[in-house]
Amino acid sequence: MTDDAIAAANRKARDERKAAHLRATLERYKQQFGAAGEQGARSVAREAHAAIELVLDRDLKRSGAGEAIRCARGCSHCCRVPVEIWPHEAALLVGAARAAGMKLDAARLERQSQYAIDDWQRQPAADRACVFLDDDGACRVYESRPNACRKLLVLSDPVYCDAGKDTAESVERWFSWEAEIMEAAALETFGAGLMPRLLLNELRRSSG
């Protein structure tokens, strides 16, 4: 066997081991979330959020990238794009809003729910914003924000995060692959939906 063939075989073996590890990690989290699903929705969401924060904190420390993250209070470009959540997170968000005395803009949620990921940017600019975003660009339910928001961390200049300026290709994200797998497992276990529709569903369920 030539040196090139040996190198190719080694790469293939490494890729297969990595793929097997990722699949095993996904299945482990799916089992964990499946068991947790027997608890109340809000408790499940809180526990999952705490778990992903531990993974993010660990991986940021390991990578040494913590000080390079550019996300900060008031930087809200990512709060104007479509966000997938799961029903348990919707329950937690609605509960947090009510506890804070916040009235959700149901009319805007209705308008947003008419759009999918592919055509989200066709909405009027004001309608694209998350209903939890305040006038200063801060999240009003930050402690209860979804996993999708928790794991979205950016290394590049925040100006590139503005989806309205077609600069998405310039955004440099920091990834924790385990956090990504955790969220994929949660979405597969509990079901995925865009935030406006799931918030509306929860508002109707909890009011009825």
pLDDT digits (tens, 9 = 90+) for 62-87: 999 988 999 988 888 899 999 999 99
Predicted TM-score (pTM) of the model is 0.89
> Cα angle at 189 between 176 and 22, to 5 degrees?
40
Residue 167: pLDDT band by 50, 70, 90 thresholds? confident
| Residue from 50, 35, 74, 51 nearest 158 by CA | 74
- Is the pLDDT score of 192 beyond 70? yes
So what's the pLDDT on residue 3? Answer: 63
Query: Is it the case that residue 169 has pLDDT exceeding 80?
Result: no
Question: How much is the pLDDT for 164?
Answer: 72
